[in-house]
Every structure is written in C-alpha cells, then in structure tokens.
Amino acid sequence: MSISNLYFWIKQYPWTQVASCLSLDLDTLQSLKVEYGLRYNTTYKKVYPEIANDPYLPDLDDNPYITACLLGRFLRASMNERRPNLISSSLTRLDEIVSYRSSYRCVDFHVKKGQGTTLYTEIHNPGAEMYFADGGRRDVNGCSYIVGRLGVCNDDRLDPPNHLRAAMFCIDRVACELLHRGICEDLNPSEGGPSLRLPKATYILNLTALSDDEIGSVSGTGYGASIKKALRNSGVTETRFNNPDDSKNHKGVKPHLTSHYSIKTGMQCLKEALRLLTHMYPELLDTIYFHDAPWWFHPVFKVFSLWVKKDTRRKFVFVKKGKGAEAFKRTVGIAELSKDFGGLADSNGVDDFIKNAIKKYDEIPVYGS
C-alpha cells in the first residue's frame, strides 16, 4: 500500500467503522460529513462563536473520529424516526441544536468550575429541585448511568426555568462524556447483536417513596409522609422563590430559554424536559428503568409515553422492587449497582448520590481521557 493510499485509508476509517457499527450507508454518512464541515466553518462559527470550546460539536478537521460518532447518532435517529430524507432531517436537527446551544450557553456547562454547586443548590439556583444525577458509577460497558429519586423532588418549590437548566446540565455532561468515548466494545451484547456500539446511558428512576421521616437535603427538598403531615398541621405553606410572571427579576443561573418562563410545574415541565432530551441529544439513552412504581405512576406514564416516539417508548422498562439484580444484570451489572436495587455497591441514601455527583460536576471535565 502506498503512502497516499494509507493516508486515505486512515482518514476514512472512522467513517467506515461508525457506518458499520450503526448499520448506516457509508455514502450517506460521508455526504452528511461534507455538509457538516461546510456549515461548521461558514455558518456555525458565526452564529455560535463559542463553538470551538463546545465538546458536543467537534470541529471536523480537528477531531474526525468524534465527529463521525456524532453524525452517526444523528443519522441513526433520523432512520428510527423514518424520515424520508436522512441528510436533510439530520442537518435541520443540527441547525436547531446549534441555535439551542448558543442561546442556552451550553458551553458554560463544561468550561466553568463549580457548576454542580451552582446549578444544583438552592442558594445559587432556587427551585432547581434536582432529583437525578450521574454519581460516577459505571455500567457493564464502562458507560455512565444516571440515577434518580423522584421522592426528593418537591413540586411545590420547583422552579421550571432553573430546574430545566440544571437537568440539561446533567444530560449535557453525560452526552459529551459518552460521545468522546467514541466506539466501545459491547461486553454483554444481546444474542446475535453487534460486538461494537456507540456508548449510551442508562437511567434508573427510583420511585420508592421516602420513609416517613426522610427529607431531601442536597438539591430536592421533598419529604416523607410524617413531615408532610406535620407541615400541613402547622399551617406552613410552601412557596416558590421566584414569581413565574416576573421573568425580568427571576433569580437563578442564566440564561434560560424564553419559553421556559411560561412553563408550569408538573407534566408541562416534564414534557419540555423530554423534548429537549430526545431532540437535542439523539440516541443518548439506552434503557430507562422505572423502579418500584406506585399505582399512581402508571396513568402518568401512559400520558408522557405518548409524547415520545415509538423507538423511545421501547426503551422504557418497569422493574418491581426486589427484582433489580436480575433486571439490571445485562445493562448495569451488579458490581456498581446500589444495594437499593439489589446490587453490591453502597446505598444511594436519600440523596447522597446527588451530593457525590456535585463533587464530580464541580470539576472542569476532560473528555476522552
């Protein structure tokens, strides 16, 4: 093989590997690469000057391998959504993501120290009420997985703009970490499945109610039944820090999307979070587990499952209490699974896992290391 042919093969290898891994047409992926390179240098740099420091939107010339992994996710998402023109729909999504990341200043999530404390805690970001985080544990493929404890979220105090910014910070950190892992070996593939994959995140939402005297103390301020009863009997009424009708004087970590100021708590806020997650971070999540779901959650689930596409709905899995070790064995394993779910790792506590995540989030991340 000549030197020129070897150089050409090296340049092409990431694209052929990603195309093979995701069962994509190589020519389609190559065409998207050309369009992305043109837009990055002629448009994206102008409308989003900070793009050079954004780890989610790599420069094609500087990092072709990670760019191939990113564009592969976009094409795969377009295929799963059965878009008639894969390249056009992928580019439309890219344009929208660049606009979102510019106006939302997503680059701040990665270049500013102390973001965990800033975004998760009441003193800096009132009403964040964060109940999920990546505490640093890994699944069977070495990928981050997210844990949530819905009971620590106090909906009476939740502030939608502040909560959504903290939520997208968590998602953004995980998305960039997994993107920069490139392609990884699937150590526990499904029968007949590929041995290589783009790394994805698992999310375990623990729906076990807080005990009577338990209370969130890190970000979320939810509490158990005894505390709730005592507050009600004492006549205490909880109020939000911000007036939802006064966006001008809104306290919290900014910027916010303008539309977030008019969002209500509850299902409306959840719907917007799902929209951002599925549209701005395509092909990020692998499986979403609902652990120990109470009776009231099932009708809620039926509603919000209609907000996502069929491909995403297939990722939802219910796990009964006491069945975690078996249910999570293939994806998460038990070595780094909390004993709350039947694993061998330390308990997550009420919200100790969020406290651990904040320590990690406070450091400026180094991706691909």
Partnered with residue 202 across adjacent β-strands are 145
Alpha carbon of 197 to those of 23, 188, 201, 242, 280: distances in Å? 11, 11, 12, 44, 20
Please give the structure tokens belonging to residue 194. 């590929």
Residue type, 219: S
Contacts for 160 with CB less than 8 Å, ≥ 6 apart: 244, 260, 261, 263, 264, 265, 268, 269, 272
pLDDT at residue number 329 = 85
CATH number of this structure's domain 113-361, picked from the four choices 3.40.630.10, 3.40.525.10, 3.40.50.1370, 3.40.50.150: 3.40.525.10
| pLDDT tens per residue, range 22-48 | 889 999 999 999 999 999 999 999 999
| pLDDT tens per residue, range 331-349 | 899 999 999 999 999 999 9
What region, left, alpha or beta, does residue 116 occupy, with left being phi > 0 and alpha being psi -120 to 50 degrees? alpha
- Mean pLDDT, the chain, integer: 88
Answer whether 185's CB lies under 8 Å from 156's CB: no
* 228 band by pLDDT with thresholds 50, 70 and 90: low
* 9 band by pLDDT with thresholds 50, 70 and 90: very low
pLDDT at residue number 244 = 63
pLDDT above 90 coverage of the chain, percent: 67
Answer whether 139's CB lies under 8 Å from 202's CB: yes
Report d(CA 262, CA 44) in Å as an integer: 29
Closest CA to 244 of 223, 227, 264, 229: 264
Alpha carbon of 313 to those of 149, 191, 192, 323: distances in Å? 21, 21, 23, 21
CATH 3.40.525.10 maps onto the chain at 113-361
| Burial state string for 147-156 with b = 16 or more CB within 10 A and e = fewer than 16 | bbbbbbbbee
Place of tokens 């005297």: 213
The yes-or-no verdict on residue 2 having pLDDT over 60 is no
Report d(CA 67, CA 267) in Å as an integer: 35
Residue type, 42: T
pLDDT at residue number 232 = 53
| pLDDT tens per residue, range 253-298 | 999 999 999 999 999 999 999 999 999 999 999 899 999 999 999 9
**Can the peptide bond before residue 255 be classed as cis, meaning omega within 30 degrees of 0?**
yes
Report d(CA 103, CA 258) in Å as an integer: 10
Report d(CA 271, CA 277) in Å as an integer: 10
Greatest Cα-to-Cα distance within the chain, rounded to the nearest angstrom? 83
The stretch 71-93 carries a mean pLDDT of: 95
pLDDT at residue number 43 = 97
| pLDDT tens per residue, range 187-208 | 655 555 556 788 899 999 999 9
CA atoms within 13 A on the CB side of 341: 30
| pLDDT tens per residue, range 85-114 | 999 999 999 999 999 999 999 999 999 999
Q: What is the pTM of this model?
A: 0.91
| pLDDT tens per residue, range 168-184 | 999 999 999 999 998 87
Please give the structure tokens belonging to residue 107. 């680059």
Q: What is the DSSP letter of 40?
A: I
CA 336 to chain centroid, in Å, comes to: 19
Strand 196-197 and strand 184-185: the pairing is antiparallel
Place of tokens 């990020």: 284
